[in-house]
Amino acid sequence: MSLYPEIRMRRVRQSPALRRMLDMEPPGPGRFIWPVFVVPGSGVQQPLDSLPGQFRFSPDRLVEALKPVHNMGIGGILVFGVVPDANKTDNGCAAWEPDGPAVEAVRAVREHYPDMAVFTDVCLCGYTRHAHCGLLDASGDVDNDATLAPLARMATTHAKAGATAVCPSAMMDGQVQAIRQALDTDGFNNTMIMSYSTKFASGFYGPFREAGGSSPRHGDRRGYQASYGDSRRGLLESALDEAEGADILMVKPALAYLDVIARLRERTNLPLAAYNVSGEYAMLHATAERGWGDLHALARESIMGIARAGAEIIISYWANQYDQIMG
């Protein structure tokens, strides 16, 4: 093989036209899902200090905020219901209330934007007093098997409201199977399951937990979320969810786990999503605010990295700013 000076890599980078020709195409807006936080009531649009450009919306204000997002061609939203502390219980029963904020949001979005995919988060952490992702047993540990029925009930409630897909994030063993069986029994055979199939116990969730009011009141979630030091077991989680009937798999977070995204892409033929989480988003904002980088350039590069690793679907807080970031 000849080397320099015969080989000059700069030849293929010397003009914008050549770079456009050879570079990977940026992911289009239809591949993005925008995570949104929905609260009860009307006329509410509360800015989130730790997530600049993001808000807690009441369903009516979400509908308004979605107009430019829909016009950009963003493919869907991922709805997180946020309820007041007074509505939280030990069993999280507000999670399946037929008039809860997530359910009302699904109905409103389906009415106003019928061609937009609506995904809903299925987890108990935002609805329980203890803020763990499942029910607790007498010793205060999360009871995996007792949690499956509430998760399934929450999922069918969302399906009845018109959700395109339900997204179990609790990381309970058997949750996808339980939800699939419940959906099919209730006649929702076409409701998809996008599973948080490889979800790591990460330090990048802080801004999300503040926005959703879902920080555990005691302990942590390392007993049920995957360990970031053990990627093989993390990949096994996705293989098991695929076997249980998941339609779409997901890796969460994204930027610190590009290797896991790439390895999972090689192992499955299912669509693969990556969740570009709150801490990753906030980190870039903090960098730009200190003058250490251009915000849009940082966002664009991080998104391209996620797509290059193999994610077909990108769940990101940048989605509502797609025209500024990727346009």
Q: Is 199 a catalytic residue?
A: yes
Q: Residue 67 and residue 74: Cα distance in Å, rounded?
A: 10
Backbone torsions φ then ψ of 294, nearest 5 degrees = -85, 125
The model carries a pTM of 0.96
> Of 318, 238, 308, 316, which is closest to residue 277 (Cα–Cα)?
316
What's the pLDDT at 61?
Answer: 98
pLDDT at 2: 75
> Residue 288: exposed, middle, or buried by beta-carbon count in 10 A (0-12, 13-18, 19+)?
middle
Q: From CA 301, how far away is CA 307, in angstroms rounded?
A: 10
What's the CATH number for 27-217+232-249? 3.20.20.70
Judging by DSSP bridges, how do beta strands 32-38 and 76-81 pair with one another?
parallel
Please give the DSSP secondary-structure letter assigned to residue 83.
-
Residue tagged active-site, from 67, 88, 160, 252: 252
| Lookup: tokens for 105 | 């949001």
User: Cis (ω within 30 of 0) for the bond into 26?
Assistant: no
Which residue among the candidates 67, 88, 160, 199 is catalytic per the annotation?
199
User: What residues in the chain have per-residue pLDDT under 50?
Assistant: none
pLDDT the model gives residue 327: 76
67 catalytic, yes or no?
no
Residues sharing a CB contact under 8 Å with residue 190, sequence separation 6 or more, in sequence order = none
